[in-house]
Amino acid sequence: MKKMNRKQFLSLSGKVMVGSLFLDPVISRLWAKHPTTKTTGDVMIQVKTKRLYLKHTWTIARGSSDYKDNVFVRIEKDGIVGIGEAAPNVRYGENAKLTTQRIHEAESIFRENDFFHYWDIKDALDARITDQSCAKAALDIALMDWVGKAFNAPLYKLFGFDTAKAPLTSYSIGIDTREMIIKKVKEAEPYPILKIKVGTDRDEEIIEAVRSVTDKPIRVDANEGWTSKEEALERIQWLKDKGVEFIEQPMPASMLEETAWLRERSPMPIIADEAVKTAADIPKLAKAYDGINIKLMKSGGMLEALRMIHIAKALGMKIMLGCMIESSVAISAAAHLAPMVDYADLDGNLLISNDPFTGVKVDHGKFVYNDKPGLGVEGEF
């Protein structure tokens, strides 16, 4: 038999791994333990929009929706496939069409770089994609899924995280009529913590409806809905004895000084959501907020989220991991980072009725991780 060069060997052993046709089990096992430090082969990138339907009409202070069009990306190289997801958000000027375009515009980065140098790819993506941060997230998630699979390890293991330390996730109750809120809270019976959306002119009615059926701890998210510091303080004082853990984004992100004023007077912690997207935003928020809500769609993926976790920890801020309406792909990606945070709100996949994937699951608010490599996600792309 003709002697193979290194490149041919790696390419062949990659194919053997995937096809489970073990020409030589010892070589295959070795390959799985010690993946090449240089990726070879061609890169194939596919992009697809899928419509995710919500179980209930989803209403927050900004608006309502019955479905979300999320953009999925599949990256294949050396016989290994990574899957990623973007959840475009109108708050940040994003949509599925522009997101798809940005993903295609970044394809060359994946052809020019070694996948194992994923921090270099992250830097290149940050330079290339300056809007549609969710497009970056989709590519970053797919890349990290690929890397985990290449090392044959779940991402939480690769990062060195103890999954037993992941906090319970809350379950979100969108804005609705009193009757529907009561119905939703009853449906959310298995979840030990609820996140209640407010920021309307009937917030008291919403909280009273929740409290008429449960005494579980709640978190309150105004989504920038309170427009003056006096109004925000009044609402927070009313919420003081209602079993609220913290308030998320009480006022518009731009009202930094007013939020600092509010924080000095607030009896409960204030968490930034719309005010923070990436690590660079965090230092200026340390005076006005007690913590930050990291979302992969805002940060542009898992690597930037890791950077944010370290910076927030260094500044003594609380860290929450949140999500948009997402399938099990992006939710699993975030769940792999959950052992590093104080609060989790990763329920986007629980709110939809046609999740195309399965991955990290939730049982009574607790994440159930599997030991499959990468994201541990399965489903039809």
- CB of 156: closest distance to Mg ion in angstroms? 24
- CB of 197: closest distance to Mg ion in angstroms? 8
Q: Of the listed pieces 5-13, 43-51, 70-78, 213-221, which binds Mg ion according to CB under 5 A?
A: 213-221
The residue from 78, 273, 304, 347 that contacts Mg ion (CB under 5 A) is 273
User: 209 vs 324, which CB is nearer to Mg ion?
Assistant: 324
Number of residues that bind Mg ion (CB under 5 A): 3
User: 136 vs 295, which CB is nearer to Mg ion?
Assistant: 295
> Do residues 54 and 353 touch, judged by C-beta distance below 8 A?
yes
Tokens of 70: 């999320």
> Do residues 11 and 39 touch, judged by C-beta distance below 8 A?
no
Residue 345's Cβ-side half-sphere holds a number of Cα atoms within 13 Å equal to: 26
- CB of 285: closest distance to Mg ion in angstroms? 14
Q: Is 221 one of the binding residues for Mg ion (CB under 5 A)?
A: yes
Q: Is 326 one of the binding residues for Mg ion (CB under 5 A)?
A: no
- CB of 347: closest distance to Mg ion in angstroms? 12
- CB of 184: closest distance to Mg ion in angstroms? 17
The interface with Mg ion within residues 28-87 (CB under 5 A) comprises: none
> Do residues 60 and 174 touch, judged by C-beta distance below 8 A?
yes
> Do residues 47 and 103 touch, judged by C-beta distance below 8 A?
yes
> Do residues 274 and 242 touch, judged by C-beta distance below 8 A?
no
Chain position whose Cβ is nearest to Mg ion: 273
Q: Looking up tokens 């910076």, which residue turns up?
A: 311
User: 19 vs 93, which CB is nearer to Mg ion?
Assistant: 93
Q: Of the listed pieces 158-166, 267-275, 334-342, 351-359, which binds Mg ion according to CB under 5 A?
A: 267-275
- CB of 35: closest distance to Mg ion in angstroms? 38
Q: Is 345 one of the binding residues for Mg ion (CB under 5 A)?
A: no
- CB of 323: closest distance to Mg ion in angstroms? 10
* Angstrom distance (rounded) from CA 96 to CA 69: 6
Q: Of the listed pieces 8-16, 72-80, 216-224, 250-258, which binds Mg ion according to CB under 5 A?
A: 216-224
Q: Of the listed pieces 73-81, 99-107, 224-232, 244-252, which binds Mg ion according to CB under 5 A?
A: 244-252
- CB of 293: closest distance to Mg ion in angstroms? 6
User: 221 vs 347, which CB is nearer to Mg ion?
Assistant: 221
* Angstrom distance (rounded) from CA 212 to CA 209: 5
Q: Cα separations (Å) of 246 from 131, 133, 298, 360?
A: 30, 27, 21, 26
Task: Determine the angle formed by the axes of helices 133-150 and 96-105, rounding to 10 degrees.
Answer: 50
- CB of 259: closest distance to Mg ion in angstroms? 14
* Angstrom distance (rounded) from CA 176 to CA 197: 9
Q: Which amino acid is at 16?
A: V
| Contact characters 274-293, Mg ion, x per CB under 5 A | --------------------
> Do residues 129 and 299 touch, judged by C-beta distance below 8 A?
no
Q: Which residues of 327-341 are buried (b: 16+ CB within 10 A; e: fewer)?
A: bbbbbbbbbbbbbbb
Question: Closest by alpha carbon to 353, among 56, 87, 70, 48?
Answer: 56
User: 273 vs 290, which CB is nearer to Mg ion?
Assistant: 273
Report the interface residues with Mg ion, using CB under 5 A.
Answer: 221, 248, 273
